Amino acid sequence: MKKYTAELLGTFVLTLFGCGSAAIAGATLGTLGIAFAFGLSIVAMAYAIGNISGCHINPAVSLGVWMSGKMTAKDFFGYVLAQCAGALLAALVLAAIINMTDLGGIAATGLGANGYGVASSVGLTACGALIVEIILTCVFVLTILGVTSGEKTSAIAGLVIGLTLTFVHIMGIPLTGTSVNPARSFGPALVLGGQALCQLWVFVFGPFIGAALAALIYKGFNKAK
């Protein structure tokens, strides 16, 4: 339970600060600022809970780790449930904060939800959004599997992972808002409802496919050694 609680806490922090930055100060921060909010959340949590749970705080990451043979099926499902609970709790807290401001409510701010079509800054189609999420997640999860594979890089893993999440957000924010994390998308979409909830499937299937692809590439590289 300690591992699952750590995953809940980590996903809560990532969702609250990442989505909160996008919803509350997105216009001020811009793409780069929001990207760093997500990335720095990962860095902080990696050093806070990494020694307890590995700091996945993302069902797609947990899938990649599981497929790589580094965690049990029981822990995989436990992690995913904890991560989704943490993201939902963060979205509820963020909604409560926004409703106590004059920002116009959660519908006006978007609650940091992901989207495509009219919900995308560049009008990206559903197919395009799915492709983007697969590619970005694959790069992100492959980096995680690589940097956590040996003791030589373990000390800097949190920083590398945080910076990688930042750089995939820089490209992804104008396109989909960048998910690469089904839990981070689940919380805001469930609280916001409507279009965000209808489009959630892309931000669940896309990251999971990308993570599975990353695990297969990682295993293929290691077999070739």
Question: Residue 72, Cβ neighbours under 10 Å: how many?
Answer: 10
User: In the chain, what are the domain boundaries?
Assistant: 2-223
Contacts of 188 (CB under 8 A, 6+ apart): 15, 19, 87, 91, 94, 111, 112, 113, 114, 196
Question: What are the phi and psi torsion angles at 68 (to 5°)?
Answer: -85, 0
Is residue 225 scored above 80 in pLDDT?
Answer: no
- Structure-token match 């409510």, residue found: 105
The tens digit of pLDDT for each residue in 31-90 reads: 999 999 999 999 999 999 999 999 999 999 999 999 999 999 999 999 999 999 999 999
Dig out the tokens for 60 from the structure.
């797609």
CATH entry 1.20.1080.10 includes domain 2-223: yes
